[in-house]
Amino acid sequence: ILNVEQSPQSLHVQEGDSTNFTCSFPSSNFYALHWYRWETAKSPEALFVMTLNGDEKKKGRISATLNTKEGYSYLYIKGSQPEDSATYLCAFYRGGADGLTFGKGTHLIIQP
């Protein structure tokens, strides 16, 4: 059983502040690490697919880093806005035709 852990489980952040949270995953048999944003009443939406150690990806105010040797990824949100409120999921991919193994997510609430 693959263990993908996300912390914290939930997070309250003041509007305008920056924040970050963590995803840890097995460091062996690594192929890719995915990040998704899941807003209430919507489908999870892909943010990043990361494959290389040291990779850093950015989309607007959101960025992510990857350390495959130690098995963790950080997601950063700069200048949080109310529309950033969502559950952020990371998922580990070990290759082949297997599906992704998801963490339980970090539930982010941006307070005006």
Partner 1 sequence: SQTIHQWPATLVQPVGSPLSLECTVEGTSNPNLYWYRQAAGRGLQLLFYSVGIGQISSEVPQNLSASRPQDRQFILSSKKLLLSDSGFYLCAWSLSGVRNGYTFGSGTRLTVV
**Please, which residue, 55 or 65, has the CB nearer to partner 1?**
55
Nearest residue (CB) to partner 1, 99 versus 112: 99
Q: Select from 12-20, 44-52, 60-68, 72-80 the region that touches partner 1 (CB under 8 A).
A: 44-52
**Distances, alpha carbon 97 to alpha carbons 17, 40, 45, 74, in Å:** 40, 29, 21, 26
Q: Is 104 in the site for partner 1 (CB under 8 A)?
A: yes
**Minimum distance from residue 86 beta carbon to partner 1 (Å):** 14
Asked if residue 61 binds partner 1 (CB under 8 A), the reply is no
Site residues, partner 1 (CB under 8 A): 4, 31-32, 34, 36, 42-46, 49, 51, 89, 91, 93, 95, 97-105
